[in-house]
Amino acid sequence: MAGGAGFIGSHLCDRLLRDGWFVTSLDSFVTGSAANVGHLVGNPLFSMRVGDIRHPVDWNGDLILNLASPASPPAYQRERMLTLTTNAEGTRNLLELARQTGARFLQASTSEVYGDPEEHPQRETYPGRVNPIGPRSCYDEGKRYAEALVVAAVAEWGIDARIARIFNTYGPRMDLGDGRVVVAFIGCLIEGLPLPVFGDGSQTRSLCYIEDMVEGLVRLAAGPGLAGEVFNLGNPDERTILELAEAVQQAAGRRAAIEYQELPHDDPTRRCPDITKAMERLGWAPQVPLEEGLKHTWDWYLDQHARQ
Ligand SMILES: NC(=O)c1ccc[n+]([C@@H]2O[C@H](COP(=O)([O-])OP(=O)(O)OC[C@H]3O[C@@H](n4cnc5c(N)ncnc54)[C@H](O)[C@@H]3O)[C@@H](O)[C@H]2O)c1
């Protein structure tokens, strides 16, 4: 697994190991950390390699999962060239590896390929509305190019590759400083700071708990006859940022003032997946209600904070 020491990757490692797979994590630690997989060291089914997918990769196995890419706006805006080349050269290297070894391939793409969409909720058929020179372009266009590579590799090399368009996912092990809304609110509640809300807080987010996302990715990786297919994976339960601020406070049992801040000009106003295809073809739908997922997440961060 490329990106196995990241937020989603480390949870996917946990799950695959529980299912009895041998798992190798390849990660450069540019945004992930060894701590995310520290609990797995010593597990005879697990090995961890430090490396960069932008260089050719030597490995043999049945399944290649490509989760390697900075994923949060502050992280990819700090590392624009790395983000573009990781998604371009890195994805190409891993597809070459799938071609050589005959492994199945799963690409972690993103709802950001839809850009600033005019269709709500977004279906897989929506081609997207992306600004190639905007502040998010290194990520959006990198991921779009990676998807094009995947479908080209399926068509020309006959490999079995699938694409997951992942929508906002949250849970333990997200980087507290990465700017995404749930951890931003949790960090503030832990420190006793006001909760920052951009604009009037009426913009929406649809948040998927990590356990549900991992289940969706496993089903997409395991299902037969899915070469070249693209699936939205996310939770269609859409909430405004103000509703989310309230839900995080409820989960934490703590309250804080709201601090309204200027809306960044690239802040998406709505993001919501249409998951009909995943429901019909993978038999998958999120099971964890927002309130429950937020409670697990809060408890984990509070425990981490207490250990420091
Ligand atoms: N978390 C979300 O809500 C979300 C939403 C949409 C898509 N995704 C996608 O899911 C994947 C995982 O996201 P995440 O939230 O776990 O992010 P993350 O930053 O926690 O994990 C990404 C991992 O990839 C590693 N990495 C980055 N570039 C690399 C390279 N060139 N070589 C080797 N390792 C490299 C990082 O060190 C990190 O461990 C990403 O591809 C991301 O685009 C995530």
Q: Say if 297 falls within a structural domain.
A: no
Q: Say if 243 falls within a structural domain.
A: no
Between CA 79 and CA 167 the distance in angstroms is 21
Nearest CA to ligand 1 atom 13: 71
pLDDT at 283: 98
Q: Say if 1 falls within a structural domain.
A: no
pLDDT at 193: 97
53 Cβ below 6 A of ligand 1: yes
Q: What is the tens place of the pLDDT at every residue in 174-230?
A: 998 888 999 999 999 999 999 999 999 999 999 999 999 999 999 999 999 999 999
- In this prediction, residues 34-56 reach a mean pLDDT of 97
Report how many helices (DSSP H) and strands (DSSP E) the chain contains, helices first. 10, 12
> Which atom of ligand 1 lies at the shortest distance from residue 27's CA?
34
> Which atom of ligand 1 lies at the shortest distance from residue 70's CA?
19
pTM score: 0.97
Q: Say if 61 falls within a structural domain.
A: yes
pLDDT at 278: 98
Catalytically annotated residues? 139
Between CA 272 and CA 233 the distance in angstroms is 10
Q: Which residues contact 172 (CB under 8 A, 6 or more apart)?
A: 210, 296, 297, 300, 301
Q: Say if 138 falls within a structural domain.
A: yes
CATH number, position 94 = 3.40.50.720
Q: Say if 128 falls within a structural domain.
A: yes
Q: Say if 193 falls within a structural domain.
A: no
Nearest CA to ligand 1 atom 21: 6
> Which atom of ligand 1 lies at the shortest distance from residue 169's CA?
3
pLDDT at 265 over 90: no
pLDDT at 270 over 90: no
- Dihedral sign, CA of 257, 263, 264, 266? positive
Query: 71 C-alpha to center of ligand 1: Å?
Result: 5
172 Cβ below 6 A of ligand 1: no
Q: How many domains does the chain have?
A: 1
Query: 22 C-alpha to center of ligand 1: Å?
Result: 21
Q: Say if 185 falls within a structural domain.
A: no
Domain that holds residue 66: 7-174+208-236+272-288
pLDDT at 221: 98
Three-state SS string across 100-168, please?
A: HHCCEEEEEEEHHHHECCCCCCECCCCCCECCCCCCCHHHHHHHHHHHHHHHHHHHHHCCCEEEEEECC
